[in-house]
Structure 1
């Protein structure tokens, strides 16, 4: 099913607090270094909560742990591919020795890769694949889509009409999620009424699309919704709630956002896909520090011609919240079980 070796991810995931998170779209750096070892971390956007809340601080903390004379130049493109191109060029001009790049647009980012490599600056494609990058770190993205499709088939009893909301066409991961989901759904008894490729993963767009579809169908007849990530799942939930739905059909998701975990416990979302971000951020930091120090790893696998680390995602439903995101300390019980969700938490055995 998959063309490459999967690396299983287990163990505790400790969230490391880092003071002074940068404002959205702003630059920041770890100024603990006193030398010229600069690593540029370029992330794509801020609408998805993981980047500012997890990827950035975890990456910075790991670099600081591994390399006392390294500093991180952090830049966020705010979903603007042109802005990301300019940020990358500035980072190279400012002396970055390595770019760790999560692209807004995977195809457009090949230009960044070529520019960096012409300056002898290696590029680590982070979370999203970039053709020609020196290294790639991500999760098994087709498997993510398969897990979402499998969960939806199970939750619906393999029958009925569904909606599909995919990710951005410019995000190379979105195509892999979509492929994995279709590999399951197309062989099932589910009928896709309408399908939408969301230009920027926008929850607002997801809500508008779902609301427009509910004008044409009876919401009570909707068997389920495939949402490629938790942000869109939130938009779907909002549209259904506005339409007067109280008994929510199964909705999929991804990223294990806090709001999604709470919706899952409350019966408002069926599942999410948890990708232990600390493992990914730590691996990227280790690789970046190795490259800054002139070391090349030998433990990679091949993905489309690029030396890669491919990590294994985890499906989360109400039944295993306690054994996944809570056990790994991704969220605490106090984080999840606010007053609004106290009863749902108690029912799930979290309190």
Structure 2
């Protein structure tokens, strides 16, 4: 069984693949629709490297494969601007794309565009973040489980120090519903086992905002009192580590992350960041592409997906949730390198050669 998928979802993906094979592998296309489909892809920002490096090209490749090269993906990135994303959605609705795949900048602000798409007969797949409004399907990672994974790895790294100092918790943007899920998951592991000295919600997930928050935490708590930092993602972890270094904190306390961005992986090798969460984007992007093509071809998905997620405005959303994997110095080779996310050559710069050799990255 695929270790990255929860049990019911693994069966779901197999069923999706079988359905597509049955109804969309001929030149004429699916029985109930054509392979000449247009998928509108709306991604939220470019602060996080994953969207341009992984999500967009992976989805384009999968759509082309499923439609024998006849389908296309129309793409727009909102650069962190919710109003811009709504305008991009409106433009795609006006151009009559067959399906919208939306990773919302702001899950509430996008609800109007989702409702417009529905009124125009255009199905919407919420991608990575659960958009509000009448979405037809949701594909993401198991975000509470990711938070639990981060919290457990941090707790394990602290050992006896967990009770002897304070940790700082750096959460993501309040406009991102995933941030609340990561926080909830982490708190289930950490509450009662650590002393939380300071806790922040970081505007726009920005590195510089996390750095400023960390500087304030060091000033308030004292640099010798901080034994660990929960950072919800890698970009913020970079800012946090910069702030710790600038304050003369040595040795650095364990710092968590998420997304396994290349600079974060290199920080893990160097011993500056303790962990990150590897989220297999290929599985997420390909699952979303499969759903989008099915919906564009007029197929029903309710009987295929047997996992649901509740949202404020759509009570039951057919969903695919994928598991993440904790990555530390001990398993970079068996996760990221094995899955061809990065090569050893990409990770191991000249400055990191000795550290790479020390952990078997050769």
CA distance in 1, matches of 2:348, 2:97: 42
| Equivalent in the alignment of 1:175 | 180
Cα separation, 1, equivalents of 2:82 and 2:233? 21
SS of residue paired to 2:204: coil
User: Match of 1:322?
Assistant: 333
SS of residue paired to 1:64 = helix
Alignment of 1:299-310 (within 5 A): 299-300=304-305, 301-304=307-310, 305-310=316-321
In structure 1, the residue matched to 2:276 is 272
Higher helix content, 1 or 2: 2
Aligned-residue RMSD, C-alpha? 1.7
Write the deviation string for residues 125-175 of structure 1: whole angstroms up to 9, x where unpaired: 000012331100001000011111111111111322010100100101111
What is the alpha-carbon distance in structure 2 between the residues aligned to residue 237 and residue 185 of structure 1?
21
Once the two structures are superposed, residues 82-140 of structure 1 have per-residue CA deviations (whole angstroms, 9 ceiling, x without a partner) of: 11001001001112110000000011122121110000000000000123311000010
Q: Is 1:155 the counterpart of 2:157 in the alignment?
A: yes
Alpha-carbon deviations, 1:323-348, whole Å to 9, x = none?
10111111110110011211111111
Query: Contact between 1:256 and 1:272, CA under 8 Å: does it hold in 2?
Result: yes
1:291-339 CA distance string (max 9 Å, x none): 1111223331111110000111111111111110111111110110011
| Match of residue 341 from structure 1 | 352
On the 8 A contact 1:63/1:289 being kept in 2, the answer is yes
Rounded to whole Å, the distance in 2 between the matches of 1:224 and 1:144 is 18
Indicate which of 212, 217, 227 corresponds to 1:213: 217
Say which SS state the counterpart of residue 163 (structure 1) adopts. Answer: strand
Question: Hey, what does 1:30 align to over in structure 2?
Answer: none
Q: How does 1:83-232 map to 2 (within 5 A)?
A: 83-131=84-132, 132-157=134-159, 158-159=162-163, 160-188=165-193, 190-232=194-236
Residue in 1 aligned with 2:41?
A: 41
| Mean CA deviation greater in 265-274 or 289-298 | 289-298
**Higher deviation after alignment, 292-301 or 239-248:** 292-301
Question: Partners in 2 of 1:284 and 1:346 — Cα distance?
Answer: 38
User: Is the partner of 1:200 in helix, strand or coil?
Assistant: helix
Tell me the residue number matched to 1:254: 258
CA contact (8 A) 1:271 1:315 kept: yes
| Cα 1:245–1:8 shift into 2, 3 Å | farther
Q: 1:6 to 1:345 in 2, by over 3 A?
A: farther
Residues 208, 239 of structure 1: 8 Å contact kept: yes
Q: Contact 1:6–1:310 at 8 Å: present in 2 too? A: no
Which secondary structure does the structure 2 equivalent of 1:237 belong to? helix
Alpha carbons 1:5, 1:310 under 8 Å: kept: no
Task: Using the TM superposition, name which of 243-252 and 114-123 deviates more.
Answer: 243-252
Task: Pick one of 271, 285, 304 that aligns with 2:289.
Answer: 285
1:221 Cα deviation after fit: 2.4
Change (3 A) 1:278 1:307: same
**TM alignment of 1:8-87, pairs within 5 A:** 37-67=37-67, 68-87=69-88
What are structure 2's unaligned runs of at least 5 residues? 1-5, 12-33, 311-315
Name the TM-score, length of structure 1 as normaliser.
0.89
Provide the rounded CA distance (Å) in 1 between the counterparts of 2:299 and 2:278.
31
